[in-house]
Amino acid sequence: MHDTLLLFGATGDLAQRYLFPSLLHLLRDRLLPPTFRVVAVGRTGLDDADFGQWLRERLDDGDGRDADVLDDLLARTRYLSLDLNDPEAMRTALSQYADRPSVSYLSTPPDLFVPACRGLKAAGLLEGQSRLVLEKPIGRDLASACAINATLGSALDESRIFRIDHYLGKAPVQNLLALRFGNTLMEAVWQHRWIASVDILVAETAGVDGREGYYANYGALRDMVQNHMLQLLALVAMEPPSELSANTVRDEKTKVLRALRPMTARDVAIDSVRGRYDTGVVEGEAVNGFTHDSDVETFVALRAYIDNWRWAGVPFRLVTGKRMPSRTTEVVVSFKPVSHWVFERPDRERARPNRLRMRLQPEETIELGLMGSLAAPEWGATELQPMSLDLSMSPTPARRIAHERLLVDALKGDQTLFVRDDEVEAAWGWIDSVSSAWQEAATPVHNYPAGSWGPAAASDFLPVTLSTRGQRKQGGKQTGKPAA
């Protein structure tokens, strides 16, 4: 395990909310080498003492439980103020840390990846067994992603490049692989003959406050679908790998992304909805709308198709949005009806199909919806009613921050939960087809009140979960909602 971490973007939001807390926890649990050190790099002009005080104010929870560990982390940390667009300044300031293999972590905007990589190369920090970690998104389209990947490839080989999608560090997301490949029941029915549709929902109560400039350049399609949602889709749809190693898993995910049917201008009128939140109420508090001067979307609903043998004709509905009524991430697999219905009550049209609901956050639940007669009167045993087989853990176990797992893997050199270059480019290829189709078709952005489940036009895209009686529209208005 490498013992030197160079953290770029050290005064940014991600570093203070997730990366430094992760390092604190890992150090407390003795999961880092005894000689571990951090070189924090930011744009703000601070010295070591100023940065230490700034970081202490953000990490000290006031109860004193981790006071000694925090002191230890600060003692191991040095701060440098650097312009990442100046390779010579980076070489001068950072070459002293090239004495042993290191991990450089770019928690920066994508437009800094290329100059930062050149500066690290000049400082000798990408040589030998040193590694480079980058926070997604990698670019904002296929062309920019290819340019970044080309620069990275000229500086170090792919086996030492770690592209982070923090969703892959979440234990419930990793459990998708366990459910799929560890159970005969799933193996037998995981294909188009038995599955009618797959829904993937990522709903957030937060808005884009403080990130308006970034979001105006990316939007929900590039920010959420390209990153997290396509990773979830790939894990649900991939073929069984021969082993759980980095390259075999990523090979199968890439095949899925390459098999996504490109969107056309004709498709997007039927298979997509764009939205943008307006003023409203979220969790009892009034919030403002997204008012940046752009036509970018904060909500997107897509119907995707994977053109391969396993998933031919099965719609994958992807829905994500800001300022939703509740924060939830879930995958719902709806199975086809039984081939021959023999019961009078309910009739075939009212029978509820089997559904597997895997909720990833905030609580971890796995529910299987069945039809049975246990709830019916004993003299009417052939009257079927919906039943739920609840496989959730209660209470949900305490989980580590996803970045804790990913930081340890990067320091150890395990790439299984990271994204490869061809995987990134395959995802961007499909995203570009959607974006181009929107532009060609002049797809509108519908306003929706904050605290709702998006535009009324998107109601047919929302998942019907086990605790929901479905999405119903009356007079064109949405009346149902996903389970909270």
**In the predicted model, what is the mean pLDDT of residues 290-316?**
93
Residues sharing a CB contact under 8 Å with residue 443, sequence separation 6 or more, in sequence order: 268, 269, 272, 274, 437
The per-residue pLDDT for 440 is: 96
Q: If phi over 0 gives left and psi between -120 and 50 gives alpha, with beta otherwise, what is residue 110?
A: alpha
Quote the tokens at residue 190: 């995981």
The per-residue pLDDT for 393 is: 63
Residue 79 in 3-state DSSP?
A: strand
**In the predicted model, what is the mean pLDDT of residues 182-191?**
90
Of 228 and 465, which is predicted with more confidence? Answer: 228
Whether residue 252 is predicted with pLDDT greater than 90 in this model: the reply is yes
**Domains 4-135 and 168-478 alike in fold:** no
Whether residue 368 is predicted with pLDDT greater than 90 in this model: the reply is no
The rounded percent of the chain whose pLDDT value lies above 90 is: 67
Geometric angle at alpha carbon 329, from 325 and 331, rounded to 5°? 125
The per-residue pLDDT for 136 is: 85
Lowest mean pLDDT among 167-176, 342-351, 354-363: 342-351
pLDDT in tens, 5-23: 999 999 998 999 999 999 9
Whether residue 482 is predicted with pLDDT greater than 50 in this model: the reply is no
CATH superfamily of the 4-135 domain: NAD(P)-binding Rossmann-like Domain (3.40.50.720)
pLDDT in tens, 29-70: 999 999 999 999 998 888 999 999 999 998 887 676 788 999
The per-residue pLDDT for 167 is: 87
Q: Which residues are catalytic?
A: 228
The third-level CATH classification (topology) of the domain covering 168-478 is: Dihydrodipicolinate Reductase; domain 2 (3.30.360)
Q: How confident is the model at residue 349 (pLDDT cuts 50, 70, 90)?
A: confident
Domain borders along the chain are 4-135, 168-478
The per-residue pLDDT for 379 is: 59
pLDDT in tens, 265-276: 999 999 999 999
Of 358 and 472, which is predicted with more confidence? Answer: 358
The rounded percent of the chain whose pLDDT value lies above 70 is: 91
**In the predicted model, what is the mean pLDDT of residues 166-189?**
88
pLDDT in tens, 371-407: 777 655 665 557 777 777 887 766 666 677 889 999 9
135 and 107 in contact (C-beta within 8 Å)?
A: yes
Q: State how far the Cα of 25 lies from the Cα of 28, in Å rounded to an integer.
A: 5
Query: Mean pLDDT score of the chain, rounded to an integer?
Result: 88
pLDDT in tens, 74-123: 999 999 999 999 989 999 999 999 999 999 999 998 889 999 999 999 99
- DSSP label at residue 449: E
Quote the tokens at residue 345: 């009550």
Q: How confident is the model at residue 227 (pLDDT cuts 50, 70, 90)?
A: confident
Whether residue 185 is predicted with pLDDT greater than 60 in this model: the reply is yes
The per-residue pLDDT for 77 is: 95
Strand partners, 275: 299, 446
